[in-house]
Structure 1
């Protein structure tokens, strides 16, 4: 039912083995991109080519993308957007595309914000479209974030699936994205974006039920929890505690600081609170079936093998 391709696991800047934020979610009714940091399109192309060579039947095609969901306006989460739109145009896309992001409410002086970025990006893309240089229309949807309560997206791009923005705590307007099925039994997946601990709505009763999968940032270890508090990020323990209170069956951690040389330290810390926890690697695929079975596959060269968690 869900196949989440983890295409960026580094926090703030790329490293030799980890790229900045970006995820591709394939569903029976099309694809969603969740965050789109620098170089996202290249990572998506490489993932799809490797899948094609693996002959598993899985793919990660840009042509299947129906909408792009952004968690916040920091560039490591959105700077790959415009190049990605441009390449889809060169590839002959004609189907409209919707981009959904959180924005400050009217009258707010919150800076920086997608209100500003969307204005500049929209002007550029619409100019290209009006000149006949853009083969598809881009719809820009800003969701005003006024409090800490979950918000239904005003635009629902995929049949039988529901998108919900959950305000988080990161110093700028930011949200987690929850993707849930309308079909029973309901399946739920959430990507946290960047956030510190203590998000009001990170509770199962606030989001309407327990999660199958939580993808949560874990920028720091508990040894540097002071930095997490200063910069609006989370530790592995924070992520695991969030997974526990939301009833997540599986926790995948990402957005690691370049200071983290041994990811197993984060896994050890997280598993004190949530046994089914692991640190994501670029290229991981997390699948959730309609029946609720969850599997994780890790890439080795052009092949993926099952990963045992816990």
Structure 2
């Protein structure tokens, strides 16, 4: 099994240098998540799906998207949400869709009944939620169920009925977690993970055994056979480790309180502009690498570049001076995280994708 990330935008704030604003798809064995959905997202998605069909020989089915996970409320990360939801309605979607994102603790207090009026910035997702409702982002208007959820990292509120709920888990075997980050508006990083799995049953070493004995061993039971105890673990390969990816969204350099195999982190500035990064609560490429070291990431992927950067060569060199496994993303790239924790970086080209060597 693998986790695959489809990168549909790597620019910060506005399209620049041929790059589009944020939006990614995380493809799991059970379905897909969309992480951020900036303006023009569905146009990029249509093109990417067509290229996947033509060059990769498979289709990305939007009915498999279980949730849109928003890292914060800036429009370069959210303004494509409603148009794409309406397109899915036109395409006949029937499956439930979750839309989950961060807000402040004060907003959560108010949603749960506090009489204190919270101070809310225009880019807070609670403001956009009200606007989206007015523009027809309801289950009745769209024709499929939409569950809107806002939270502060610890408490989550179902905006459909105002109830406090645990962080929803839209898939059965894939877990999502949110980690608060530091930006000019409420923000979080999203961790998407697969749990560890049993190793494969060794049919070759058990082929001499009766079928009922093999079935019991395959089910994980130790059995007695001809006076010997056969241990189920001796007939199965090593446990396959879990896989995890964290997508940071916009954030100042900080430690993310979780480990991961792949960290996709914003690298808006170079270290030479660290003062600007600190002022606007963004990260440098070096800062992203330090964060990757802090959270024990096997691999780091850089994204969200400032318009002042006409290429990501310097960003890549800066980060590689700190972390041993770094790639720099471009629009349309794909990342494949394998069971053995290796990472394949597929770089978008005019005729599909080429693997970075």
1:307 is aligned to: 356
Indicate if the aligned counterparts of 2:6 and 2:335 stay in contact, CA closer than 8 A.
yes
**Which digits, 9 at most, give the CA deviation of each residue in 1:84-103, with x for residues without a partner?**
00100111111111100011
Runs of 5+ consecutive residues of structure 2 not aligned to the other structure? 111-117, 156-164, 198-240
- Residue 40 (str. 1) matches residue 41 (str. 2): yes
Match of 1:170 among 183, 206, 214: 183
1:85 is aligned to: 85
RMSD: 1.8
What is the TM-score with the length of structure 2 in the denominator? 0.78
Shift of 1:301: 1.1
2:95 is aligned to: 95
SS for the counterpart of 2:274 is: helix
Match of 2:283 among 234, 238, 241: 234
Indicate if the aligned counterparts of 2:17 and 2:307 stay in contact, CA closer than 8 A.
no
Q: How far apart in 1 are the matches of 2:92 and 2:57? A: 24
Indicate if the aligned counterparts of 1:45 and 1:61 stay in contact, CA closer than 8 A.
no
1:187 is aligned to: 243
**Which digits, 9 at most, give the CA deviation of each residue in 1:255-277, with x for residues without a partner?**
10010123111111111101211
SS for the counterpart of 2:13 is: coil
- Residue 64 (str. 1) matches residue 113 (str. 2): no
- Residue 125 (str. 1) matches residue 136 (str. 2): yes
Shift of 1:183: 3.0
SS for the counterpart of 2:327 is: strand
Q: How far apart in 2 are the matches of 1:155 and 1:182? A: 17
**Which digits, 9 at most, give the CA deviation of each residue in 1:109-143, with x for residues without a partner?**
2413111211221343356x44xx52211110111
- Residue 275 (str. 1) matches residue 324 (str. 2): yes
SS for the counterpart of 1:241 is: helix
SS for the counterpart of 1:125 is: coil
1:156–1:261 distance in 2 versus 1, CA, 3 Å: same
Indicate if the aligned counterparts of 2:12 and 2:22 stay in contact, CA closer than 8 A.
yes
What is the TM-score with the length of structure 1 in the denominator? 0.90
Indicate if the aligned counterparts of 1:44 and 1:61 stay in contact, CA closer than 8 A.
no
Indicate if the aligned counterparts of 1:153 and 1:163 stay in contact, CA closer than 8 A.
no
